[in-house]
């Protein structure tokens, strides 16, 4: 027994000697921050050092090693639990003791496992260093102690079944990805080194994106996203994540953040054409150029300020900037969708309004105008007494001042608050449309067909409308005739599939067009602009920019026959000479 005891003491002496030689790598010193530093201070220090030592920019000897050290330090201090463990034990995993080894290899340790049922470990340092930290336990769980010899012996021998300390049965296994599975054994002790490297998981604020999430939450949903594409083996993943988080934090409510692991989601990356490169890639899912979302890659410096500016520039642009001198105020105007107008003193469309226009672009037509004060006659005409304000028009033309004197605390809360306001207005409009449908037979024809203008063109005859039937006129008499005929035809069972908010694959949209005012628009279809006709019809397919014209007798029967041919595909369409534009 004495011989065995002596053997154990010699073994522990051998293990403990290197502890005093190991150097503790202090993450606070690595980043150059105080121990009470805020997360913002830690993040700033990390960004500054990462830019300085990033391997792609710093080719000096030791820069890559320093960059890895900086990333490991930030990995500890940016995680609340790891930081707490480090502050308490000197180890981010919560194991009391010392941490040592070469920079960038803090996740490689030597493990020795106690033979009892408790899940306790002895952990040694990586990279050839011989530092160790110990914890003991048994059925009741792990227990730890300071590195004092009397404590070690007491914990190992003297606590018996109470603390689960065990004598004998001390075992371990050595595992290396490039070496033999099992090490040699001496008596009841077997040992070897297991090197493991676990990839850092994405921060909680960065949503993991797969094909299902992309289809349901991102594609054409109206919200702007920052998307990080990467593979776990790439360098700099953590740095990119931190920059993205910082840029997104100041735009909360305006965009969301996601990451795509192109190793596990290879099919999604292939579909999106975001094949991995030597470094991670950053994209913004943008609605800047069209009604549908698309990925735009960010290629600037990986700095939070620059990325934030890029994201702001790619917020949705569904709201049209208008001049109140030319804006149509008539309550008698009938639209397919309700209209919203923001009045503010901003020179450009406010970010909040751009965000809302993206989220609700399928439910409302958005406008915004710059005004100077409420004493402006045009503002008074709208019934507004404070700025900024939102004025809305239901589909039947009924005007409502939705809110005046809007107060904004922050972007996120403002978007949330105004979303409730728009939801309520959308419900009111739905009820109005429903009541109108029930009384359709008593509606006057004059209020059935809207007049096409530059402001409502996208909503009435934009790319989401399969076919737009335009009744063009050059005189008031011609307008009255077309209104009557088109109103009658639109109510027929054949052509009731009009374009609506819910939409229909084969839907038609009916509008009136002032041929005198919109002559340049008509020239896109025909050089003469149909000048010989006082009334005529143009069937226009916005997506393909093709048209077909009818200049015959404007009777309900003839017009219905023409529309029937359009609807069935029996009529030939011609390519328009250029992109039509409406004033």
> CA-to-CA distance for 287 and 314, rounded, in angstroms?
7
Q: Does residue 282 come out as left (phi exceeding 0), alpha (psi in the -120 to 50 range) or beta?
A: beta
Name every residue whose Cβ is closer than 8 Å to that of residue 510 and which is 6 or more positions away in sequence. 448, 449, 469, 471, 486, 490, 498
Residue 253 and residue 380 in one domain: no
Residue 178 and residue 218 in one domain: no
Its pTM stands at: 0.51
Residue by residue, pLDDT tens for the chain (583 residues) are 555 555 555 555 554 444 443 445 799 999 999 989 988 888 888 888 888 888 777 888 888 888 888 888 888 888 888 888 888 877 776 555 433 333 333 443 433 334 344 444 444 444 433 334 333 333 334 443 333 433 333 333 333 333 333 333 333 333 333 333 343 333 333 333 333 334 444 445 689 999 999 999 999 999 999 999 999 988 788 889 999 999 998 898 999 999 999 999 999 999 999 988 888 999 999 987 667 899 999 999 989 999 999 999 999 999 999 988 877 655 445 567 899 999 999 999 999 999 999 999 989 999 999 998 888 888 888 889 999 999 999 988 889 999 999 987 888 899 999 999 999 999 999 888 777 655 544 444 444 688 888 778 888 888 888 888 999 998 888 898 898 888 888 876 444 444 433 344 447 788 998 888 888 888 878 776 677 788 999 898 888 888 888 888 888 888 888 888 887 788 888 887 667 777 7
Structure tokens at 362: 């399928």
Residue 377 and residue 298 in one domain: no
Last residue of a domain, one of 248, 282, 313: 313
Cis check: omega of the bond before 524, within 30 degrees of 0: no
* CATH number for 346: 3.40.30.10
Q: Is residue 97 part of a domain?
A: yes
Residue 305 and residue 334 in one domain: no
> CA-to-CA distance for 69 and 257, rounded, in angstroms?
26
Nearest residue to 129 (alpha-carbon basis) of 31, 10, 20: 20
The residue range of the domain holding 353 is: 325-440
Q: Is residue 582 part of a domain?
A: no
Query: Looking at the 3D structure of the chain, how many domains does it have?
Result: 4
Residue 475 and residue 383 in one domain: no
Please identify which residue in the block is written with the tokens 């940016």. 78
Positive or negative: CA dihedral 469, 473, 478, 483: positive
CA atoms within 13 A on the CB side of 287: 25
Q: Is residue 278 part of a domain?
A: yes
Last residue of a domain, one of 163, 190, 217: 190
Residue 69 and residue 161 in one domain: yes
């Amino acid at each position: 027994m004495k011989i065995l005891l002596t053997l154990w003491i010699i073994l522990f002496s051998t293990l403990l000697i290197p502890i005093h030689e190991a150097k503790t790598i202090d993450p606070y010193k690595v980043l150059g921050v105080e121990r009470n530093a805020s997360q913002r201070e830690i993040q700033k220090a990390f960004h500054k050092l990462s830019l300085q030592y990033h391997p792609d920019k710093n080719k000096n000897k030791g820069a890559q090693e320093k960059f890895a050290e900086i990333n490991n330090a930030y990995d500890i201090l940016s995680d609340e639990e790891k930081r707490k463990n480090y502050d308490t034990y000197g180890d981010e995993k919560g194991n009391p003791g010392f941490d040592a080894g070469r920079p960038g290899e803090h996740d490689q340790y030597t493990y020795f496992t106690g033979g009892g049922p408790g899940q306790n470990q002895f952990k040694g340092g990586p990279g050839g260093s011989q530092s160790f930290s110990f914890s003991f336990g048994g059925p009741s769980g792990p227990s730890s102690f300071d590195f004092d010899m009397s404590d070690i012996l007491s914990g190992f021998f003297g606590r018996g079944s109470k603390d689960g300390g065990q004598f004998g049965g001390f075992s371990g296994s050595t595992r290396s990805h490039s070496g033999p599975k099992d090490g040699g054994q001496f008596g009841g002790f077997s040992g070897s080194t297991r090197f493991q490297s676990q990839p850092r998981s994405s921060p909680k604020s960065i949503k993991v994106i797969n094909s299902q999430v992309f289809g349901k939450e991102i594609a054409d949903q109206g919200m702007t996203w920052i998307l990080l594409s990467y593979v776990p083996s790439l360098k700099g993943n953590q740095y990119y994540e931190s920059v993205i988080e910082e840029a997104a934090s100041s735009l909360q409510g305006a965009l969301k953040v996601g990451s795509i692991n192109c190793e596990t989601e290879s099919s999604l990356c292939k579909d999106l054409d975001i094949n991995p490169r030597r470094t991670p890639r950053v994209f913004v899912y943008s609605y800047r150029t069209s009604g549908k979302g698309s990925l735009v890659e960010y290629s600037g410096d990986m700095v939070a300020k620059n990325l934030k500016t890029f994201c702001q520039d790619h917020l949705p642009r569904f709201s049209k900037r208008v001049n109140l001198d030319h804006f149509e105020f008539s309550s008698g105007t009938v639209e397919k969708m309700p209209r919203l107008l923001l009045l503010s003193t901003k020179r450009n469309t406010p970010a909040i309004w751009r965000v809302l226009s993206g989220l609700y672009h399928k439910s409302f037509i958005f406008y915004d105008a710059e005004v100077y004060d409420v004493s402006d006659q045009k503002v008074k005409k709208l019934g507004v007494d404070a700025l900024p304000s939102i004025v809305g028009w239901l589909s039947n033309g009924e005007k409502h001042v939705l809110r005046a004197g809007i107060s904004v605390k922050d972007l996120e809360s403002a978007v949330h608050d105004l979303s409730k306001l728009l939801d309520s207005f959308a419900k009111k409009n739905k009820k109005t449309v429903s009541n109108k449908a029930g009384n359709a037979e008593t509606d006057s024809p004059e209020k059935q067909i809207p007049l096409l203008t530059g402001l409502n063109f996208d909503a009435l005859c934009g790319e989401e409308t399969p076919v737009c039937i335009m009744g063009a006129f050059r005189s008031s008499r011609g307008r009255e005739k077309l209104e009557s005929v088109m109103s009658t035809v639109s109510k027929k069972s054949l052509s009731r599939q009009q374009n609506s908010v819910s939409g229909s694959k084969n839907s038609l949209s009916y509008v009136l067009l002032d041929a005198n005012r919109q002559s340049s628009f008509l020239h896109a279809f025909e050089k003469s602009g149909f000048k010989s006709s006082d009334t005529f019809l143009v069937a226009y397919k916005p997506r393909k920019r093709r048209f077909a014209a009818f200049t015959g007798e404007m009777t309900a029967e003839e017009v219905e026959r023409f529309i029937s041919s359009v609807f069935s595909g029996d009529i030939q369409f011609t390519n328009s000479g250029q992109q039509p534009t409406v004033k």
